Amino acid sequence: MITIVDYGLGNVSAFSNMYKRLNIPVVVAKSASELDGATKIILPGVGAFDHAMNLLGASGMRDALERLVCDNHIPVLGVCVGMQILAKGSDEGLLPGLGWVRGKVRAFKAEKKSANLPLPHMGWNDVSPVAGALLFNGLENDARFYFLHSYFFECEQQDSVVATSSYGIDFSCAVRSGNVYGVQFHPEKSHHYGALLLKNFSDL
């Protein structure tokens, strides 16, 4: 069962509607008990890093998510800020992240090649997956997704990067560590490209 975590951030209904159009069963969890039975988890998010971490903590679902993801190895897909909080921390905030993927979230404005570009990075952009990236089956040569962000995920280990995009600099826009996946772009806003990626996640 695909379970979307509703902790107060992210367009939960857009994910739910896309999976319903794909005829894939989906539920929305607003409490720890509603996470029971999850076989795949989507962790959405928009806005600021610390705000996301505070809301996730206040939701009462963090401990259950840690158990499911870290102990039971249930696949999870973090999206946008939901991806960024997978890191150890962020230049945007002071709170520690979940630390499920080794790395830190960095600011475009701190990079010489992207500092003078308009922020946030907003709109459609090409995405280049690495060979064999399961999330991108069928998207190897033609992948465009919708972005809206001012920070990017800097992985400690290169093999955690599963796709890159470019905005002044080349940056990791999709990451993976074991059963933990993250994408910086919004598949729920990316038409058939996003639908295929979300179907690939359900098929893992």
Q: Is there a catalytic annotation at residue 80?
A: yes
Active-site entry in 92, 149, 173, 188 = 188
Q: Are 181 and 75 in contact (CB under 8 A)?
A: yes
Active-site entry in 80, 92, 149, 173 = 80
Q: Is there a catalytic annotation at residue 186?
A: yes
Active-site entry in 92, 121, 155, 186 = 186
The 3-state secondary structure of the chain reads CEEEECCCCCCHHHHHHHHHHCCCCEEEECCHHHHCCCCEEEECCCCCHHHHHHHHHHCCCHHHHHHHHHHCCCCEEEECHHHHCCCCEECCCCCCCCCCCCEEEEEHHHCCCCCCCCCCEEEEEECEECCCCHHHCCCCCCCEEEEEECEEEEECCHHHEEEEEEECEEEEEEEEECCEEEECCEHHHCHHHHHHHHHHHHHC
Catalytic positions, please? 80, 186, 188
